[in-house]
Amino acid sequence: MVETLWAPWRMEYILEDPKDSDGCVFCLPEGHLGPLPERLVLWSDPTVFVMMNRYPYNNAHLLVAPRRHVATLADATPLERSAIIELTAKATRALEEGMSPDGFNMGVNQGKVAGAGISEHLHLHITPRYNGDTNYMTVIGETRVIPEHLRRTYEKLVGLFN
């Protein structure tokens, strides 16, 4: 049987020319503060920012990162580490208000062997969890279903960071 999954945001990635890449997906434009819709950045300040994961594990999967390009928690300054935790708390409150999850998985995958897809720039994952989000599709079909388009989720969350 042929399975069809609808993931319209993947076309942008498929058609992207790697030569056009401006480097690290986590490095924001110098001096830009606040939301950046084209990069799915919900909020930023001079030290840290929060963005949506373009390839989420679950609906509304967020990433919190320092603006400075550092690879490890040990390389981050005390201010950056503190700001990451504070923004993580703010992000979970926004997710609770905007998405009503039943819980969260949060963590840092530091290094390729630990599962970091982009190990060169430190980032903390916030994955909202919902009762029933691990169902037969994931368990038997080895397929995740993201029930809402990324842009729709972005619009729900962006105003909650002001």
**Residue 115's CATH number:** 3.30.428.10
Does a structural domain hold residue 110? yes
Does a structural domain hold residue 135? yes
Does a structural domain hold residue 149? yes
Residues classed as catalytic: 123
Quick one: pLDDT at residue 141?
60
Q: Where are the beta strands (DSSP E) in 35-155?
A: 41-44, 48-52, 62-66, 103-107, 124-129
Count: domains in the chain: 1
Provide the residue range defining the domain that includes 147.
33-161
Average pLDDT over residues 29-49: 95
Q: Enter the pTM of the model.
A: 0.83
Does a structural domain hold residue 8? no
Does a structural domain hold residue 15? no
Quick one: pLDDT at residue 114?
86
Average pLDDT over residues 47-71: 95
